[in-house]
Protein backbone atom coordinates (compact mmCIF):
# COMPACT_ATOMS: atom_id res chain seq x y z
CA UNK A 1 0.00 0.00 0.00
CA UNK A 2 1.28 3.45 -0.84
CA UNK A 3 2.53 5.53 2.07
CA UNK A 4 0.45 8.44 0.78
CA UNK A 5 -2.71 6.45 1.54
CA UNK A 6 -1.51 4.48 4.56
CA UNK A 7 -0.55 7.40 6.82
CA UNK A 8 -3.72 9.43 6.17
CA UNK A 9 -5.76 6.24 6.60
CA UNK A 10 -4.20 5.53 9.98
CA UNK A 11 -4.81 9.11 11.13
CA UNK A 12 -8.44 8.93 9.97
CA UNK A 13 -9.03 5.65 11.83
CA UNK A 14 -7.46 7.04 15.04
CA UNK A 15 -9.58 10.21 14.90
CA UNK A 16 -12.80 8.25 14.25
CA UNK A 17 -11.96 5.89 17.13
CA UNK A 18 -11.33 8.84 19.47
CA UNK A 19 -14.61 10.44 18.40
CA UNK A 20 -16.63 7.26 18.84
CA UNK A 21 -14.99 6.32 22.16
CA UNK A 22 -15.68 9.73 23.69
CA UNK A 23 -19.28 9.69 22.45
CA UNK A 24 -19.87 6.20 23.84
CA UNK A 25 -18.33 7.20 27.16
CA UNK A 26 -20.82 10.06 27.44
CA UNK A 27 -23.72 7.93 26.15
CA UNK A 28 -23.08 5.10 28.63
CA UNK A 29 -22.19 7.11 31.74
CA UNK A 30 -24.37 10.23 31.60
CA UNK A 31 -28.09 10.90 31.46
CA UNK A 32 -29.35 13.04 28.59
CA UNK A 33 -28.98 16.68 29.67
CA UNK A 34 -26.60 15.85 32.52
CA UNK A 35 -23.71 18.26 32.87
CA UNK A 36 -20.27 17.91 34.43
CA UNK A 37 -18.46 21.19 35.10
CA UNK A 38 -14.80 20.91 34.14
CA UNK A 39 -13.88 24.61 34.33
CA UNK A 40 -16.54 26.74 36.04
CA UNK A 41 -18.33 29.18 33.70
CA UNK A 42 -16.27 28.01 30.72
CA UNK A 43 -16.06 24.26 29.94
CA UNK A 44 -18.65 21.60 30.67
CA UNK A 45 -19.28 18.05 29.50
CA UNK A 46 -23.00 17.99 28.66
CA UNK A 47 -24.85 14.93 27.35
CA UNK A 48 -26.76 16.19 24.32
CA UNK A 49 -28.30 14.70 21.17
CA UNK A 50 -28.65 16.50 17.86
CA UNK A 51 -30.77 15.38 14.92
CA UNK A 52 -29.59 18.30 12.81
CA UNK A 53 -26.42 20.31 12.33
CA UNK A 54 -25.08 23.23 14.40
CA UNK A 55 -27.85 25.21 16.10
CA UNK A 56 -30.27 22.46 15.01
CA UNK A 57 -30.41 23.47 11.34
CA UNK A 58 -31.85 20.76 9.06
CA UNK A 59 -33.22 19.14 12.23
CA UNK A 60 -34.33 15.56 11.63
CA UNK A 61 -33.45 15.53 7.92
CA UNK A 62 -31.33 12.36 7.98
CA UNK A 63 -31.60 11.68 4.22
CA UNK A 64 -30.06 15.10 3.54
CA UNK A 65 -27.13 14.31 5.85
CA UNK A 66 -26.63 10.85 4.33
CA UNK A 67 -26.51 12.27 0.80
CA UNK A 68 -24.23 15.19 1.70
CA UNK A 69 -21.87 12.92 3.66
CA UNK A 70 -21.55 10.42 0.82
CA UNK A 71 -20.96 13.16 -1.78
CA UNK A 72 -18.42 14.93 0.46
CA UNK A 73 -16.73 11.64 1.30
CA UNK A 74 -16.24 10.74 -2.36
CA UNK A 75 -15.01 14.26 -3.17
CA UNK A 76 -12.55 14.37 -0.28
CA UNK A 77 -11.28 10.85 -0.96
CA UNK A 78 -10.65 11.90 -4.57
CA UNK A 79 -8.80 15.02 -3.38
CA UNK A 80 -6.85 13.04 -0.78
CA UNK A 81 -5.58 10.39 -3.18
CA UNK A 82 -3.92 13.11 -5.27
CA UNK A 83 -2.68 15.18 -2.31
CA UNK A 84 1.00 15.27 -1.39
CA UNK A 85 1.50 15.06 2.37
CA UNK A 86 5.09 16.27 2.11
CA UNK A 87 4.48 19.43 0.09
CA UNK A 88 0.82 20.23 0.84
CA UNK A 89 0.55 19.63 4.58
CA UNK A 90 -2.30 22.04 5.41
CA UNK A 91 -4.32 20.89 2.41
CA UNK A 92 -3.78 17.19 3.12
CA UNK A 93 -4.35 17.36 6.87
CA UNK A 94 -7.44 19.47 6.23
CA UNK A 95 -8.87 16.74 4.02
CA UNK A 96 -7.90 14.03 6.53
CA UNK A 97 -9.68 15.89 9.34
CA UNK A 98 -12.80 16.52 7.25
CA UNK A 99 -13.03 12.85 6.24
CA UNK A 100 -12.63 11.71 9.86
CA UNK A 101 -15.19 14.21 11.14
CA UNK A 102 -17.68 13.38 8.43
CA UNK A 103 -17.40 9.65 9.05
CA UNK A 104 -17.58 10.11 12.84
CA UNK A 105 -20.89 11.96 12.67
CA UNK A 106 -22.16 9.70 9.85
CA UNK A 107 -21.71 6.66 12.10
CA UNK A 108 -23.94 8.29 14.74
CA UNK A 109 -26.59 9.26 12.21
CA UNK A 110 -26.61 5.80 10.63
CA UNK A 111 -26.80 3.95 13.97
CA UNK A 112 -28.88 6.30 16.13
CA UNK A 113 -30.49 8.84 13.73
CA UNK A 114 -28.86 11.54 15.86
CA UNK A 115 -25.39 12.76 16.79
CA UNK A 116 -24.03 12.53 20.32
CA UNK A 117 -22.60 15.91 21.36
CA UNK A 118 -20.95 16.67 24.68
CA UNK A 119 -18.36 19.48 24.54
CA UNK A 120 -20.01 22.60 25.93
CA UNK A 121 -18.02 25.82 25.87
CA UNK A 122 -19.47 28.97 27.43
CA UNK A 123 -17.89 31.89 25.61
CA UNK A 124 -18.57 35.07 27.56
CA UNK A 125 -22.04 33.81 28.53
CA UNK A 126 -22.91 33.30 24.86
CA UNK A 127 -25.24 30.47 25.80
CA UNK A 128 -26.49 29.60 22.32
CA UNK A 129 -23.12 28.30 21.13
CA UNK A 130 -23.81 24.72 20.04
CA UNK A 131 -22.63 21.72 22.01
CA UNK A 132 -20.26 19.72 19.82
CA UNK A 133 -18.01 16.64 19.66
CA UNK A 134 -14.60 15.49 18.40
CA UNK A 135 -15.94 14.91 14.86
CA UNK A 136 -17.19 18.51 14.75
CA UNK A 137 -13.75 19.75 15.83
CA UNK A 138 -12.18 17.69 13.03
CA UNK A 139 -14.62 19.15 10.50
CA UNK A 140 -14.10 22.78 11.53
CA UNK A 141 -10.30 22.58 11.88
CA UNK A 142 -10.12 20.58 8.64
CA UNK A 143 -12.14 23.19 6.74
CA UNK A 144 -9.93 25.94 8.16
CA UNK A 145 -6.68 24.19 7.13
CA UNK A 146 -8.04 23.28 3.69
CA UNK A 147 -9.32 26.80 2.99
CA UNK A 148 -6.15 28.40 4.41
CA UNK A 149 -3.98 26.37 2.06
CA UNK A 150 -6.12 27.21 -0.97
CA UNK A 151 -6.17 30.92 -0.11
CA UNK A 152 -2.41 30.91 0.54
CA UNK A 153 -1.74 29.25 -2.83
CA UNK A 154 -3.98 31.80 -4.56
CA UNK A 155 -2.16 34.62 -2.81
CA UNK A 156 1.23 33.22 -3.89
CA UNK A 157 0.05 32.99 -7.50
CA UNK A 158 -1.33 36.53 -7.36
CA UNK A 159 1.90 37.83 -5.81
CA UNK A 160 4.00 36.03 -8.42
CA UNK A 161 1.90 37.28 -11.33
CA UNK A 162 1.79 40.87 -10.04
CA UNK A 163 5.57 41.00 -9.56
CA UNK A 164 6.32 40.03 -13.16
CA UNK A 165 7.20 42.96 -15.43
CA UNK A 166 4.52 43.68 -17.98
CA UNK A 167 5.20 44.34 -21.64
CA UNK A 168 4.55 47.96 -22.44
CA UNK A 169 3.13 48.09 -25.95
CA UNK A 170 3.01 51.89 -26.20
CA UNK A 171 6.27 52.14 -28.17
In the chain the beta strands, taken as DSSP E runs, fall at: 35-39, 43-50, 115-121
| 108: annotated active-site residue | no
Backbone angles phi, psi at 123, to 5 degrees: -95, 105
Smallest CA-to-CA distance from 46 within 30, 22, 25, 28 is with: 30
- Among the listed residues 19, 108, 117, 149, the single catalytic one is 117
Instruction: Find the helix packing angle between 89-112 and 62-81, rounded to 10°.
Output: 150
Mark whether 136 is an active-site residue: yes
**Does residue 46 sit in helix, strand or coil?**
strand
Among residues 151, 168, 67, the alpha carbon closest in space to that of 109 is found at 67
Residue 166 Cα distances to 26, 62, 155, 161, 163, angstroms? 62, 54, 19, 10, 9
Residues serving a catalytic function are 117, 136
Amino acid sequence: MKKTVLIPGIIIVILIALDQLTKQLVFRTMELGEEIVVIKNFFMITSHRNTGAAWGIFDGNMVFFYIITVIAGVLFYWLLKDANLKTKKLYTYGIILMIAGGIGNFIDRALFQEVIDFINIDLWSYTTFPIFNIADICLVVGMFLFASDILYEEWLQWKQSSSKPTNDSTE
